């Protein structure tokens, strides 16, 4: 599907990063009607300030991606696009999830530089000029990294940091305490376009691009309004996505577990045979039969579940279905409307 802003793959580095770039801010939205007015007000004021100060070029804009919202999110976006030349909107035909919506925005919005951030105002907007400075110094990917997790609950802090450590242990390359607040150069975005992953985990995928990177630290604030669109269930799903999309280590764990269980089973069989042949204590008992049976059955079911997860990914990828459909686009930089 051809999208606005799409062009032939350009893998040449930026010619002159000393010139202020045209920056596109990409914000996925799902039922964000409570926070969008304040988000738009702040971003417009800052964007105009940055353009006037020479940090960004005229034409820099804000692009909202409506991920199939069920409230007035799209109506607000369309209204802002009609009244502010710096605002554009992309509406997906249905809810496709945060990662697909974010990718759609990155592949659709124009600009020399694209910065992805959340619409809930938790990401520090003051870090954006720092990211652009890093880009103009030569970095094509700039990661926004949380300097602390003071605003998180104990459970979220421990679970999130433990997850990053688990990914590193499994060999998945990610930036510690980095979510999806990042800058990508046009070259990085066009390279990302060539990846055809069905199950997206952009934090890991961006690390595969291989271009020069840098880090900007920021303090994450409390959510301005509304409720988090990432409850525990979705967080666990994204965590599992990151593991299964970038490493086959769980399959190797199954192999190791199979070896251990096999050795243990042979040891148990040798013990039973020794007891039967050389002692008179060989009394039939349910424990020696039932416990190993339950243990082996549990290991087998777990192994089949993990293998099934990988097979499901292969099955879904083989269908080659589009990751999203754009229903319509409005506002800044878009020359025409597109349908799914």
Is residue 107's pLDDT more than 80? Answer: yes
Please tell me the predicted confidence (pLDDT) of residue 337.
Answer: 38
Q: Does residue 332 or residue 117 have the better pLDDT?
A: 117
For the chain, the average pLDDT equals 76
Please tell me the predicted confidence (pLDDT) of residue 11.
Answer: 47
Range name among 61-70, 108-117, 243-252 with the lowest pLDDT average: 243-252
- Distance in angstroms (rounded) separating the CA atoms of residues 221 and 117: 13
Is residue 9's pLDDT more than 50? Answer: no
Is residue 117's pLDDT more than 70? Answer: yes
- Are 95 and 68 in contact by the 8 Å Cβ rule? The answer is yes
Confidence of residue 206 (pLDDT cuts 50, 70, 90): confident
Question: Distance of CA 230 to CAs 8, 162, 251, 327, Å?
Answer: 35, 18, 28, 24
- Distance in angstroms (rounded) separating the CA atoms of residues 55 and 306: 49
| Rounded mean pLDDT, 325-337 | 71
Please tell me the predicted confidence (pLDDT) of residue 5.
Answer: 39
Using CB atoms within 10 Å of the CB of residue 318, give its burial: 0 to 12 exposed, 13 to 18 middle, 19+ buried. Answer: exposed
Confidence of residue 243 (pLDDT cuts 50, 70, 90): low
Is residue 192's pLDDT more than 60? Answer: yes
Please tell me the predicted confidence (pLDDT) of residue 92.
Answer: 92
| Rounded mean pLDDT, 54-58 | 90
Is residue 238's pLDDT more than 70? Answer: no
Range name among 103-112, 261-270, 282-291 with the lowest pLDDT average: 282-291
Question: Distance of CA 102 to CAs 29, 192, 282, 283, 299, Å?
Answer: 9, 12, 65, 64, 38
| Rounded mean pLDDT, 192-207 | 81
Is residue 277's pLDDT more than 80? Answer: no
Is residue 331's pLDDT more than 50? Answer: yes
Q: Does residue 198 or residue 38 have the better pLDDT?
A: 38
| Rounded mean pLDDT, 271-292 | 61
- Distance in angstroms (rounded) separating the CA atoms of residues 120 and 311: 36
Which percentage of the chain shows pLDDT scores above 90? Answer: 26
- Distance in angstroms (rounded) separating the CA atoms of residues 45 and 333: 19
Instruction: Please state the separation of Cα 206 from the chain's center in Å.
Output: 9
Q: Does residue 96 or residue 112 have the better pLDDT?
A: 112
Specify the pTM: 0.70
Please tell me the predicted confidence (pLDDT) of residue 106.
Answer: 93
Is residue 267's pLDDT more than 70? Answer: no
Residues 6+ apart with CB under 8 A from 50: 23, 56, 60, 128, 129, 132
- Distance in angstroms (rounded) separating the CA atoms of residues 228 and 36: 14
Confidence of residue 152 (pLDDT cuts 50, 70, 90): low
Which percentage of the chain shows pLDDT scores above 70? Answer: 58
- Are 45 and 25 in contact by the 8 Å Cβ rule? The answer is no
């Amino acid at each position: 599907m051809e999208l606005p802003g799409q062009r032939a793959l350009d893998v040449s580095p930026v010619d002159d990063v000393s010139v202020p770039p045209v920056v596109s801010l990409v914000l996925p939205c799902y039922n964000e009607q409570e926070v969008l007015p304040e988000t738009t007000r702040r971003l417009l004021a800052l964007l105009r300030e940055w353009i006037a100060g020479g940090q960004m070029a005229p034409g820099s804009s804000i692009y909202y991606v409506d991920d199939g919202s069920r409230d007035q999110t799209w109506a607000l976006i369309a209204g802002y696009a009609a009244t502010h030349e710096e605002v554009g909107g992309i509406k997906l035909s249905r809810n496709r999830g945060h990662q697909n919506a974010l990718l759609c925005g990155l592949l659709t919005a124009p600009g020399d530089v694209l910065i992805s951030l959340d619409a809930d105002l938790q990401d520090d907007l003051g870090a954006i000029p720092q990211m652009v400075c890093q880009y103009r110094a030569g970095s094509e990917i700039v990661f926004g990294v949380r300097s602390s997790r003071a605003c998180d609950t104990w459970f979220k802090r421990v679970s999130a940091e433990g997850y990053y450590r688990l990914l590193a242990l499994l060999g998945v390359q990610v930036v510690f305490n980095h979510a999806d607040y990042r800058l990508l150069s046009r070259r990085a975005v066009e390279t990302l376009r060539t990846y055809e992953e069905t199950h997206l985990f952009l934090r890991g995928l961006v690390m595969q691009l291989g271009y020069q990177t840098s880090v900007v630290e920021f303090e994450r604030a409390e959510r301005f309004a509304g409720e988090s669109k990432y409850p525990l269930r979705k967080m666990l799903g994204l965590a599992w996505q990151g593991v299964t999309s970038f490493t086959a280590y769980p399959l190797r764990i199954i192999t190791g577990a199979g070896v251990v269980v096999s050795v243990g089973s042979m040891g148990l069989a040798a013990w039973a045979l020794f007891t039967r042949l050389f002692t008179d204590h060989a009394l039939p008992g349910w424990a020696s039969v039932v416990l190993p049976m339950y243990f082996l059955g549990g290991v087998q079911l777990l192994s089949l579940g993990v293998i099934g997860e990988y097979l499901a990914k292969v099955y879904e990828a083989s269908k080659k279905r589009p990751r999203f459909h754009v229903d319509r686009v409005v506002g800044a930089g878009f020359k025409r409307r597109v349908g799914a």
